[in-house]
């Protein structure tokens, strides 16, 4: 799924330059192959959502439905623009005042890249704001706690954590040490240490720091 499609995209792109005669038809197919690759990515994302059984994971994916719909809409408009520009227009360009339509410009494609770029930057800023490089301070912000709650079930399900281990993990993510966890959960300190050890073993992390970073990376 991650190796074959890019390879097919690269081979098909080269093939259009090698086997099709130079002209508008060649240019149309050369640029359209990129759009078909984008459609493949969107279709695979939709398929992954439909076959997802975990309700928490589906809820996380559903939050991006707006971006998904916009990507489909703009992607189809790009293909239509290319068809008009390369296959239907007799003139090299159409000038409508300050707006110029030509084979060299694709407003929908520029907008699509802008939308994806803004979404990527927003996600990066959110990740940084949640201080994924270090544990949240004890008694973190409401935003941090809400993000932990939203993603804890998905993370715990992936790593097959027990209910008690989920509760311990939640307090770890809030920045509490073993002694504070033991006091809050009314458990013996040795019991908390066993739970922490089991969590690290199930997630494959060597330390609490790696565990916390792994959680925020997944979010």
User: Is residue 137 a part of any domain in this protein?
Assistant: no
Q: Per-residue pLDDT averaged across 191-212, rounded?
A: 93
User: Is residue 151 a part of any domain in this protein?
Assistant: yes
User: Is residue 136 a part of any domain in this protein?
Assistant: no
Both 36 and 116 in a single domain? yes
What was the pLDDT predicted at 179? 94
Both 191 and 156 in a single domain? yes
Both 150 and 97 in a single domain? no
What are the structure tokens assigned to 28, written together?
């149309």
Cα separations (Å) of 97 from 100, 102, 103?
A: 7, 13, 17
Last residue of a domain, one of 66, 95, 129: 129
What are the structure tokens assigned to 18, written together?
């090698």
Which residues contact residue 55 at a Cβ distance below 8 angstroms, ignoring those fewer than 6 apart? none
Top-confidence residue, 86 or 40: 40
What was the pLDDT predicted at 100? 57
Least confident of 83-87, 150-154, 155-159, 163-167: 83-87
**Residue 97 pLDDT grade (very low, low, confident, very high; cuts 50, 70, 90):** low
Top-confidence residue, 139 or 117: 117
Based on the structure, what is the number of domains in the chain?
2
What was the pLDDT predicted at 167? 93
pLDDT above 70 (res 101): no
Both 116 and 148 in a single domain? no
- The parent domain of residue 117 ranges over 4-129
Last residue of a domain, one of 103, 129, 155: 129
**Residue 42 pLDDT grade (very low, low, confident, very high; cuts 50, 70, 90):** very high
User: Is residue 135 a part of any domain in this protein?
Assistant: no
Both 25 and 90 in a single domain? yes
Last residue of a domain, one of 129, 161, 194: 129
Runs of H (alpha helix) within the chain: 4-19, 24-51, 55-62, 65-83, 107-129, 142-158, 163-173, 178-185, 189-203, 208-218
Both 169 and 121 in a single domain? no
- Please state, rounded to an integer, the average pLDDT across all residues of the chain: 84
Q: Per-residue pLDDT averaged across 14-28, rounded?
A: 90
Both 76 and 146 in a single domain? no
Both 15 and 80 in a single domain? yes
Cα separations (Å) of 190 from 79, 134, 184?
A: 62, 25, 14
The rounded distance, in Å, linking the Cα atoms of 163 and 154 is 13
Q: Per-residue pLDDT averaged across 131-154, rounded?
A: 67
Q: Per-residue pLDDT averaged across 168-172, rounded?
A: 92
Q: Per-residue pLDDT averaged across 8-18, rounded?
A: 94
Q: Per-residue pLDDT averaged across 6-32, rounded?
A: 91
Q: Per-residue pLDDT averaged across 175-190, rounded?
A: 92
Least confident of 8-17, 46-55, 102-111, 130-139: 130-139
Burial classification of residue 202, based on how many CB atoms lie within 10 Å of its CB (0-12 exposed, 13-18 middle, 19 or more buried): middle
pLDDT above 70 (res 99): no
- 8 Å CB contact between 144 and 175: no
User: Is residue 122 a part of any domain in this protein?
Assistant: yes
What was the pLDDT predicted at 109? 87
Dihedral sign from CA coordinates of 43, 48, 50, 55: negative
What are the structure tokens assigned to 184, written together?
């809050």
Both 23 and 123 in a single domain? yes
Both 17 and 118 in a single domain? yes
């Amino acid at each position: 799924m991650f190796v074959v499609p890019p390879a097919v995209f690269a081979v098909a792109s080269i093939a259009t330059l090698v086997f099709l005669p130079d002209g508008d038809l060649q240019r149309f197919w050369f640029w359209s192959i990129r759009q078909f690759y984008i459609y493949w990515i969107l279709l695979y994302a939709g398929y992954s959502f439909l076959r997802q059984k975990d309700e928490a994971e589906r809820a996380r994916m559903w939050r991006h439905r707006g971006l998904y719909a916009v990507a489909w809409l703009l992607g189809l408009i790009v293909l239509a623009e290319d068809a008009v520009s390369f296959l239907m227009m007799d003139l090299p360009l159409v000038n409508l005042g300050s707006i110029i339509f030509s084979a060299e410009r694709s407003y929908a494609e520029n907008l699509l890249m802008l939308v994806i770029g803004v979404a990527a930057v927003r996600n990066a800023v959110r990740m940084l704001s949640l201080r994924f490089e270090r544990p949240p301070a004890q008694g973190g912000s409401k935003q941090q706690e809400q993000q932990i709650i939203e993603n804890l079930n998905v993370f715990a399900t992936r790593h097959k954590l027990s209910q008690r281990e989920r509760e311990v993990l939640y307090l770890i993510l809030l920045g509490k040490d073993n002694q504070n966890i033991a006091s809050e959960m009314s458990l013996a300190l040795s019991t908390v240490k066993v739970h922490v050890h089991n969590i690290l073993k199930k997630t494959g992390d060597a330390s609490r720091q790696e565990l916390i970073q792994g959680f925020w990376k997944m979010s």
